[in-house]
Amino acid sequence: MRRVRLASSERTLICLTVRMNRWTLAARAGLLGLTCVLASCGPLPQRASVPTLWQPSPNFGERLPTFVVIHYTGADSASAAVRTLTSRQSQVSAHYLISRDGTIVQLVDERSRAWHAGESRWGALIDLNSASIGIELDNDGRSAYPQSQIDALLSLLSDLRQRYRLPAANFLGHSDVAPRRKLDPGPLFPWRQLAASGFGLWCEAPYPEPPPGFDAITGLRALGYDTRQPEAALSAFRARYTPDAPPSDPVERDRALIHCLAQASLDR
């Protein structure tokens, strides 16, 4: 075989070409590896435990909240509440926390299911966590809510209402959806002020006379309350709508107010 002598410049060009090819291959391998790593970081589709064929469809959407549930933290400070709401051990969370000075902290993506309502029921819905935005207010359960905090809440609620087109009746308290277990946001929460801005139902006295035979507990059920324990549902209702009324207030007054609110829910 005859050897071919190459000029120095030709040998240099060949060496550079070989090196560039090696660099290209290495870069491609690195890019492929990076792609595999990034793909592995994405969430895997939740599948059935029985054998299935996976044929993904592009026709789907994110979780769409249809309710807002308002809580108080019961903690001494916003920082203490944040620690609880972000602790793996607590197993509790909310989408937003509003401090007493009006600072809003987001803790969970609105598209995700936060763990704030627990065992809950409203109407036919038996899991409010799956269909709601949870908002925690920095309050120990005994103190009045500062106006700066309520102003921030109203701004947030207005934003949520606009983006999700929520009706007034779908702004609830934790005690509404869990009357046997919870008291928050408590009798000091200004539901009347919120209703004036379109968040929640309200009726002003004197209330129209309900029709003969109208039953208060049936009316509570129509509003959405879980009436399996009627006294608990009635107590939660009174804490929201008539917190200043004496405990012995007659049920007849409740009937008129419940009927008025039921009518208001139909009109909105």
How far does the chain reach from its first CA to its final CA, in angstroms?
96
Q: Which helix (H) or strand (E) holds 266?
A: helix 251-267
Q: Kindly name the residue from 119, 136, 204, 209 that is annotated as catalytic.
A: 136
CA–CA separation, 177 vs 113, rounded Å? 16
Residue 67 main-chain phi, psi, to 5 deg: -135, 160
**Backbone phi, psi, residue 105, to 5°:** -115, 125
Burial-class residue 224 by CB neighbours within 10 Å (0-12, 13-18, 19+). buried
Catalytic, 209? Answer no
d(CA 24, CA 217): 75
Alpha-carbon distances, residue 201 vs 39, 109, 264 (angstroms)? 47, 27, 7
Residue 192 C-alpha from the chain's centroid: 22
* Spatial distance between the Cα atoms of 1 and 106, rounded to a whole number of angstroms: 76
Non-local (6+) Cβ contacts of 201 within 8 A are 168, 169, 195, 223, 261, 264, 265, 268
Token readout for 144 is: 């009045």
Active site positions, annotated:
136
